[in-house]
Amino acid sequence: MTRIEKGIGSIPTAAGSGPISARTKFSLRVLRLVVNLRVLIALGLLSVSLLALSPPLLGYRYPELYQYTAFFYLLASSALALIILRMPEKAEPAAIWQLIIDVIAITVIVHASGGVRSGVEGLLVIFVATAGITLPRKLAYFGAAIATLSILAEQSLSYSQGMTDTGDFVQAGIFGAIMFLIAFGTQSLLRQIDDTEELARQRGIDLADLAELNDYIIQNLRESIVVVDASGQIRLLNQSAADLLNTAPLGTGAHLKSIAPQLNTLLENWRCNAEGNTPTFLASDGTLINTYIAPLGPNNSGPALLFLEDASILVDKVQQSKLAALGRLSASIAHEIRNPIGALSHAGQLLAESPSIGKQEQRFLDIIEKNSKRVSVIVDNVLNMSSKDVAHPEQFSLNDWCREFIAEFVSTVELNEGELSVHADEDDVMVRIDPGHLHQVAWNLCDNAIKAASNTEGGIAVEMHVGRGLNNRRPYLKIVDHGLGVPKDLQDNLFEPFAAGPDGGTGLGLFICRELCEQNKATLNYLPGDKGGSVFQVVFADPSRWDV
């Protein structure tokens, strides 16, 4: 395939054409430049003939032949220029005809102007060089040959007519040698362009392969990675991060705030004041995520790399270690603590039946009975926690279940009307969970909320909110109180075993509640109340996507 066929002649004129090579682009630029230059040269040659100069600059030997040739050359150059510029697919035949016309017209003008001494033949250097760049190699050499032969033929004709001498043959020969040197030089230049283009193409392939491999590795990393620029626009979001943020993989350009507002807030706070601690946030599905932020520039205001980590995975590992220790401890507790405590409690009960017991002794016996029961509850909680009964999930209406639960809780605890209420943000919210586990979780949370609300001046006001998440539509249950809330120094360890608060609890209730939720593919999280107090939110698994 010729150069024109590979390049200029294959310029894409319709959808589906391939890309243009660098060599073709270079040839096209040269051809477009020269066709315009050729028209200006022809116009200049014609203008010289119209000047009333004595003697004329050119064409003084045959003025009329010069004028007719210059006029014809202008018309032919203009017509072929339009063809080349408007119809690039016909550039090769047009360029060949243009070279032939160049050689004939310039040779005639040289003859009409007195031979090689006029210097007009130097114009052929431009057109032969152009042919060497835009035409195939054989045609380029053929152009140099016909240009050389034409000038030699003109010199021979002028010499036979006695208008030149033998010394002009040397000038014509030198001119012919220059034509061939130019043809060879352009071919060398084009070979360098081809080598450079092939090297660039190979480097492009290597870079594309490397980029594809890099993208594959990043997308399949277990680590969740997000890269943002200085304005918060996402530049990279791998599949693991998309799954963790509960969103589809996005292309570059989306703003972080549009898919993870809380993560964007953490990033903005980090830019203002980078701290050494690990910030956390809740994803739309209730997953607690640890965030590690590293700058990709000299300061925090530029691009940043965000590593996201599912905190539940780390928590699970820690809790498994704790449960293993507690499991070993529970057997010792059952034998070493439960039996003595039972004996003490039983002895106290027998002593209380004695008719000689006074008020002071009775008060001491009540203390013994109360603390014996408290220790017994701790032992039961530890044993229940280590046993981890298998969940038996059932699907039911959370709205109906909450109404039945409130009726039972109010009558058992003897609350006044309105102190515990249910608020349904949506009707008929279906959940799939073990009813016994949910009952235990809700009872513990409501009992804690009642105790917290009892310490406020406004009285007891506990609310149960039922609804679905805005983004993932997963059902949730919120237990809201208007008490004093959880102190900040306890919030990070709130669900850890034996993390007792100021109320003197065992520190196992919330830990067991979270364990029960996780057995049912649900999550339990703490949120500070908007106007004080505490919010404990249970986010259930989607009942329509429950994994058996």
Per-residue model confidence (pLDDT) at position 496: 76
Q: Is 309:292 a contact under the CB 8 Å cutoff? A: yes
Residues in the chain: 548
Computed on alpha carbons and rounded to an integer, the radius of gyration of the chain in Å comes to 46
Q: Other CB atoms closer than 10 Å to residue 466's CB: what's the count? A: 23
- Superfamily classification of domain 224-309: PAS domain (3.30.450.20)
394-545 CATH pick, 3.10.450.630, 3.60.10.10, 3.30.565.10, 3.40.50.620: 3.30.565.10
Euclidean distance between CA atoms 327 and 387, whole angstroms: 8
| Residue 165, phi then psi, degrees to nearest 5 | -115, 180
pLDDT on residue 273:
77
CA dist 537 and 464 (Å) reads 10
pLDDT at 6: 43
Question: What are the domain boundaries of the chain?
Answer: 3-203, 224-309, 314-387, 394-545
Looking at residue 401, its pLDDT comes to 93
Spatial distance between the Cα atoms of 278 and 294, rounded to a whole number of angstroms: 12
- pLDDT given for residue 319 in this prediction: 66
Task: Dig out the tokens for 319 from the structure.
Answer: 């809790």
Mean pLDDT by 10 residues, the chain (548 residues): 41 44 68 80 80 68 80 84 77 77 83 74 77 75 80 79 74 78 77 78 86 78 82 84 74 76 84 69 74 84 84 70 66 66 77 77 78 71 61 89 89 82 87 89 88 74 87 86 79 72 65 85 86 86 66
In contact, 159 and 112? CB cutoff 8 Å = no
Q: What is the C-alpha separation between 229 and 491, in angstroms, rounded?
A: 33
Q: What is the pLDDT of residues 233-255, one digit of tens each?
A: 888 888 878 877 777 765 567 88
* Structure letter (DSSP) for residue 87: -
In whole angstroms, how far apart are CA 526 and each of 371, 431, 487? 29, 20, 12
Q: Is 449 helix (H, G, I), strand (E, B) or coil?
A: helix
- The whole-angstrom separation of Cα 518 and Cα 391 is 10
φ and ψ at residue 525, rounded to 5 degrees: -135, 155
The b-or-e profile of 394-432 (16+ CB within 10 A means b, else e) is eeeebbebbeebbeebbeeeebeeeebebeeeeeebebb
